[in-house]
Amino acid sequence: MQSTTGPEPCRPSPGETIAVVPPDWEITDPAAPRCRGEVVDVVGDLVTVRVLGHLRLRRVHQVAAWTGEEEGAR
């Protein structure tokens, strides 16, 4: 049996606004810089996100629901 050490990963849908972290960060790290992105597509655990007009590819452990608290973080 596999143990879980953190919260369940975000399962975003296309069109949803989410928080995104840079490639070398985990969304669970409180120090991780976050910015707002829009989900374009989801395939398995890969999420294509539009951030500041550019497409980025992230894994589900690198995204979370957008709460607005991250506003201004870049």
pLDDT of residue 1: 44
Burial label for 9, CB within 10 Å (0-12, 13-18, 19+), is: middle
What are 3-33's pLDDT values in tens digits? 455 556 678 999 999 999 998 999 899 999 9
- Kindly provide the b/e burial profile for residues 27-61, where b requires at least 16 CB atoms within 10 angstroms of the residue's own CB: beeeebebbbbbbeebeeeebbbeeeeeebebebe
CA–CA dist 26, 61 (Å, integer): 6
pTM: 0.77
What are 27-63's pLDDT values in tens digits? 899 999 999 999 999 999 999 999 999 999 999 989 9
Task: Determine contact, residues 39/14, Cβ cutoff 8 Å.
Answer: yes
Under DSSP, is residue 60 helix (H, G, I), strand (E, B) or coil? Answer: helix
pLDDT of residue 69: 64
